[in-house]
Amino acid sequence: MTKEHTVTFLPTMNDLFNKTKQFVFKQQTSMLASSLILAGMMIVSRFAGFMRYRMLAGYFSKDELDIFFAAFRIPDLVFEVLINGALSTTFIPFFIKYEKREEQHKIISSIINTVLLVLSVTVVILAIIMPYVVPIMTPGFSQGKVIQIVFFSRILLLGQLPLLILGNFLTGMSQSKKMFIIPAVAPVVYNLAIIFSTFFFASSLHLLAPVLGVVAGAVLFLLTQIPVVRYIKFKYKLVLSHARESLQFFRTAIPRVLTIIVSQIDATVDLSLATLLGSGSYTIFYLAQHLQLLPVSIVGISVGQASLPYISELYQEKKYDALRKIVISTLLNILYMAIPAAAFFAIMRTATVRIFFGGDKFDWDATVATAITLSFFCISIPFHAMYYFVTRCYYAFFDTKTPFYTSSLAIGLNALLSVIFILGYHMPVWSLAVAFSISMSLHVILLLVLLHKKIGMYNVMYFFQEIVKMLVATFNSALITFVTVRLLDGLILDTSRTINVFILLTIGFGLFSTIYIFLSWFFGIQEAYVLSKMLPRVRLYGQKIIELYTGISESFTR
């Protein structure tokens, strides 16, 4: 290499590094841009997640997957309590609140250290009592299954949880600074680790392969986000000081933590009831539940996560008029995407299940049962998507008590209906989805009524008029798509082959989307213009990436 080439090579590499750094750590200036980034990365993350499930369905039977999914129940309980309870909703407002104070690093470090201390004690206790708890949670499982669940659960408790907790603290810091790219990439890396571990080691390690993949994914989840600490110049301190601020944080988090505990008890009840319905029933319920989370994540969770720092700022700056406007417009934007998503998943349920979970060991009976369960979950998708935004509105107001009270009522109703359906009427596994949809729908309606009383909303009549337009557009789109797909299925396409199922699903999605967009324009649905605002941003981000790496490659070839 000549001296001339060396001189041009080094600036090029520096340019690549600097531009990539600017793109990755860019602070977003609007909730729309933040939601767009999170939605895009959520799609990638969920796609990787379903690739993981399809991989598992191809390598393991329903009986084996019952063990794998049940092993997550106790670790997930702890994770949900600490992350969704104390961190994801309470941490960001506190980080923003103390951002300009000199002792912020000590305050935040004290909170982190306290949570890790609580986690350590909890993990040790649970690891000891695991053999006594798991049989109670899984009354329909054999002793052999219970022993395996205990073994895998202990690995997940000790190897996964601490890393995920630390990683989610970094996620909260990033989102507080309105940086969303790195936190969105981390779950993708997590899922890829499980996929590769299953693919390469399932034949030799069996179920231990994906379990170890989960631990490896947790390591990568944390490592991916470490650059955030240096960029935001956060200085971690090994202290347990600032008791007043720490106490305020945990006092604020307690109602949310209690809400999560109640919801996790409800999830455990679902596990227990599903084990009584026969082998593979919990896997069917678990996969259908996670499939309905695909549109909920892309629409609801992404908007909810992106909205919290913006709503917190508006509330703390007492800009109540702007706050009311952003609440009503965001709810309509969520419904504009969630309502048609629910309808599409309902009419294309069997094809969707086959594409995502149609592995060698996932037979036709399992496919049909999962599809039926999914169709009942679809009822709750619009409400479930709104739930993540509405609850974050309360958390931005430092009101965690109201969601706790309403969640307790809804979860109690869900558990009661589930017990009645399964033990009283001996209904199939899809009845658990019916119970969930009823309780979730009533829960969100109650939250919206209370939110309206709390802050008021602009033009409630307009809100309902827009929803009616969306429902009419969705119904017509679904009807035309359903009839068309039924004609294609069997007459033209042989759907016994997976490739034809994919073609059918693609045609259905394209037709449904085209009709829905046209009817949105025809009925004058204002939220349709969200797409027109988002598409230029998508092109802009794509153009930035292309220009960045095209310019670098051209420099190498000169």
From the list 360, 294, 264, the residue with the least C-alpha distance to 58 is 360
- Looking from the CA of 384 toward its CB, the CA atoms found within 13 Å total 21
Q: Which two tokens stand for residue 140?
A: 């329909």
pLDDT in tens, 469-499: 999 999 999 999 999 999 998 788 888 888 9
Burial zone of 487 (CB within 10 Å; 0-12 exposed, 13-18 middle, 19+ buried): exposed
Q: Tell me, what's the pLDDT at 545?
A: 46
Q: What is the pLDDT of residues 194-245, one digit of tens each?
A: 999 999 999 999 999 999 999 999 999 999 988 877 777 778 888 887 777 7
Least confident of 2-11, 146-155, 496-505, 526-535: 2-11
Tell me the whole-structure pTM to 2 decimals.
0.80
For residue 428 the two structure tokens come to 């199939």
d(CA 214, CA 216): 5
Nearest to 487 by CA among 477, 495, 499: 495
pLDDT at 273 over 80: yes
- Cα distances (Å, whole numbers) of residue 200 to 59, 60, 204, 356, 540: 11, 14, 9, 20, 38
Q: Which pLDDT tens digit goes with each residue over 107-131?
A: 888 888 888 898 899 999 999 999 9
In DSSP terms, 289 is beta-bridged to: none
Domain boundaries in the chain? Answer: 278-471
